[in-house]
Amino acid sequence: MRDLSSYPAEPFRIKVVEVPKMLDRPEREKAIVEAGYNTFLLNSEDCYIDLLTDSGTTAMSDQQWAGLMVGDEAYGGSKNWYHLKAAVQEYYGFEYVTPTHQGRGAENLLSTLMIEEGQYVPMNMYFTTTRYHQEKNGATFVDVIIDEGHDSTAKDVPFKGNIDIAKLEKLVAEVGAEKIAYICLAVTVNLAGGQPVSMQNMKDVRAFADKHGIKVFSDATRCVENAYFIKKREKGYENKTIKEILKETMSYFDGCTMSGKKDCLVNIGGFLAMNDEDLYNRSRELVVVYEGMPSYGGMAGRDMEAMAIGIKESVDYNYIEHRVEQVAYLADRLLDAGVPIVEPAGGHAVFLDAKRFLPHLTQDDFPAQSLAAALYVEGGVRAMERGIISAGRDKITGDHHRPELELVRLTIPRRVYTYKHMDVIADAVIRLYEKRDEIKGLEFVYEPPMLRFFNARFKIK
């Protein structure tokens, strides 16, 4: 474990508190049975520490709350829309912006506009909603992340989210460049453990795409965390600001989809941004079908104001340093106790490696689902499965996708919990690790046909 003084103190003062309930163990046992062993289906009130996601769970600043009060709720041309557009242009550098209610709204627009039936979308590992929209529009998803991205033990690889250019070359040689709808590059890679992508890799992907006339879009959801890792790990960026690194990052893409619920520090919102005027015009036509006017896209005026302010706050070094290092603190506590996690730790979460945590279970026993349920009972800590259940089924064979990584994600909301909370989480995981042999596998009681992890129900095998 690092010297304790090397983890930065909270760069904020707490002005409002929310008092959580603390259920006792028999109450938690009852709650998880009622939720069908699916932590998504627990009542949030029954969770002492809620690490289900960092999506939309951010604590907003006093400036953002003040911004809510100047919401202009006009149906068209809200002043807050102009503030949001200006913030995206300044910090992300794209010319055109189409707002959406959240990230998947932008994914829907991009996939619908860019994909033709029978095309391919290579990406650095899948993400659930992203792949869903790609496949729904007739594309075949191809994973082109470097092999180490699938290896939870490859701890000396600083940019495990990188795209393997050789895998891109192989795909183009096999199917032809015209069959690639676009390359999708996520910064950071959520399901690899929040792993970053280097600036050099983005430059290489851009050069490859230019050579073959292929477009490149970013899933920019956690791009500020990625910028922090570049500053810390990539030569030549140590003296650049987070704002400069973010702007350079985005300069290698034709556009991006964004879930504002993560690195824009808000509870709801998203956008599709791009430089191509024709694509923008087509997205303006489509957004009215699914989201709303091109000047609000499913957000209230006040939400757009909070997002414009959040974008500016997100590039503050003190904020992002604390955010990522707090995650590192939790990872270091677990590593010290010998708990198997994805290494190195990512930007938004610590991922428990359920395969190594529960070696007595096979992947068909749904070990990560089972571990997440057990952790809730042990400590009132709600986490999320990111393994075979999240991966879903192959659209052709109908069999489970069987991802190499079978993980439980301890996702840290932004500006919500303190280091003492990290200790409570670590202690609960360590207690559970000491009695891991007692944890049993699960089987489906109800399996939804799509994005099954949200609503599935299970029982003990």
Q: Which residues are catalytic?
A: 75, 127-128, 219, 262, 386, 453
Residue 259 interacting with ligand PM9 (CB under 6 A): yes
- Give the Å distances, CA to CA, from 261 to 146, 158, 266, 311: 27, 26, 5, 11
The residue within the footprint of ligand PM9, chosen from 128, 195, 218, 370 (CB under 6 A), is: 128
Whole-angstrom distance, CA of residue 429 vs CA of residue 92? 38
Task: Write the binding mask 300 to 339 for ligand PM9: x where contact by CB under 6 A, - elsewhere.
Answer: ----------------------------------------
Is 219 a residue that touches ligand PM9 (CB under 6 A)? yes
Q: Which is nearer to ligand PM9, 23 or 383 (CB)?
A: 383
Q: Which is nearer to ligand PM9, 279 or 389 (CB)?
A: 389
- For ligand PM9, give the closer residue by CB, 127 or 296: 127
Residue 103 C-beta: closest distance to ligand PM9, Å:
3
By residue count, the chain amounts to 461
Q: Judge contact between 169 and 208, C-beta under 8 A.
A: yes
Per CB under 6 A, 295 contacts ligand PM9: no
List C-alpha distances in Å: 232 to 113, 196, 222, 227, 394: 37, 11, 16, 9, 38
User: Please, what is the minimum distance in Å from the beta carbon of residue 434 to ligand PM9?
Assistant: 28
CA pair distance 370, 438, nearest whole angstrom? 11
- Nearest residue to 99 (alpha-carbon basis) of 130, 125, 78, 114: 78
Residue number with CB closer to ligand PM9 (198 or 267): 267
Q: How far is CA 262 from the centre of its chain?
A: 7
Among positions 38, 64, 129, 137, the unique one binding ligand PM9 when judged by CB under 6 A: 129
What amino acid is encoded at 268 in this protein? I
Smallest gap from Cβ 446 to ligand PM9, in A, equals 19
Q: Site size for ligand PM9, by CB under 6 A?
A: 16
Which residue stretch of 85-93, 124-132, 318-326, 357-365 sits at the interface with ligand PM9 (rule: CB under 6 A)? 124-132
* Among 127-135, 154-162, 298-306, 370-378, the segment contacting ligand PM9 (CB under 6 A): 127-135
Closest CA to 293 of 306, 305, 283: 283
In this structure, the strands spanning 120-123 and 140-143 are parallel
Nearer to ligand PM9, 323 or 361 (CB): 323
**Residues 317, 318, 323, 328, CA torsion sign:** positive
Nearer to ligand PM9 by Cβ, of 270 and 392: the residue is: 270
Distances from the Cα of 446 to the Cαs of 35, 392, 453, in angstroms? 12, 14, 11
- Complex with ligand PM9: residue 39 or 130, whichever CB lies closer: 130
With binding defined as CB under 6 A, does residue 64 bind ligand PM9?
no
**In whole angstroms, how close is the CB of 378 to ligand PM9 at the nearest point?**
22
Check: CB of residue 373 under 8 Å from CB of residue 37: yes
Q: How far is the CB of 91 from ligand PM9 (least distance, A)?
A: 18
**CA–CA separation, 441 and 461 (whole Å):** 6
Determine which helix (DSSP H) or strand (DSSP E) holds 376, and give its type and residue range. Answer: helix 367-379
221, 226, 249, 369: which one contacts ligand PM9 (CB under 6 A)? 221
Cα–Cα distance for residue pair 241/76, rounded to 1 Å: 36
Residue 261 or residue 323: which is nearer to ligand PM9 going by CB? Answer: 261
Site string for ligand PM9, 262-281 (x = CB under 6 A): --------x-----------
d(CA 307, CA 293): 17
Binding map of ligand PM9 across residues 86-105, x = CB under 6 A, - = no contact:
----------------xxx-
Stated as kind and residue range, the H or E segment containing 168 is helix 165-175
- 344 prior amide bond cis, ω within 30: yes
Q: 24-53 mask for ligand PM9 (x: CB under 6 A)?
A: -----------------------------x
Here's the x/- map for ligand PM9, 137-176, by CB under 6 A: it reads as ----------------------------------------
3-state secondary structure of 219: strand
| Residue closest to ligand PM9 when measured from CB atoms | 103
229 interacts with ligand PM9 by CB under 6 A: no
Contact yes or no for 99/304 (Cβ under 8 A): yes
Told to check if 392 binds ligand PM9 by CB under 6 A, we report no
Q: Measured from the CB of residue 101, what is the shortest distance to ligand PM9 in angstroms?
A: 8
CB-count burial class (<10 Å; 0-12, 13-18, 19+) for 136: middle
190 lines the binding site for ligand PM9 (CB under 6 A)? yes
Binding site for ligand PM9 (CB under 6 A): 53, 55, 102-104, 127-130, 186, 190, 219, 221, 259, 261, 270
